[in-house]
Amino acid sequence: MADSSTPARRRVPRVEEFSAGGFVLDHSGRSPKVALIARRDRRGRLVWSLPKGHIEAGESPEDAAVREVFEETGIRGSIVASLGTIDFWFMSEDKRIHKTVHHFLLTAHDVVLSDADAEVAEVAWVPLDEVADRLGHADERNLLDRVRVALAEQTGTE
């Protein structure tokens, strides 16, 4: 029996969210570059990440990834390979959010960046070899091995 001096535990609502995005590559130069976006965190610092966003009703993860990449970077791309999913938990507005993000490898069809999206502070092309140093989230850095495998499979240089 609960002690009357102990406050009752309040159940926090759990919400499932689904997003999609990924690594957008520009192969036009000597070495591949990846389009990254930066957003400001609560302290005002820039945090670099992959372009991604919510999957809308009736939309496939692939379609959402292509749309979100365009909205956040201005780049039209096409999907080359699936890189799998990442899932994590966080709290927002007194809700416990379980987020699943579908990541894809995309090839850019144009290379002009746009940071017109209000949610994005900056957009940049980053050489593939420097992406791990720039990304602010370990789970996205961990996808780099999958990117390299997918690129090797495409070129037949496994």
User: What's this model's pTM, rounded to 2 decimal places?
Assistant: 0.85
Domain made up of 14-155: CATH architecture: Alpha-Beta Complex (3.90)
Are residues 54 and 19 in contact, defined by beta-carbon separation less than 8 angstroms?
yes
DSSP three-state, residue 8? coil
pLDDT of residue 153: 87
Banded model confidence at residue 1, pLDDT cuts 50, 70, 90: low
DSSP three-state, residue 26? strand
pLDDT of residue 98: 93
Helix and strand numbers (H, E) in the chain are 4, 7
Q: What is the pLDDT of residues 15-47, one digit of tens each?
A: 889 999 999 999 888 889 999 999 998 899 999
Are residues 68 and 49 in contact, defined by beta-carbon separation less than 8 angstroms?
no
Domain residue spans of the chain:
14-155
* Radius of gyration, CA atoms only, the chain: 18
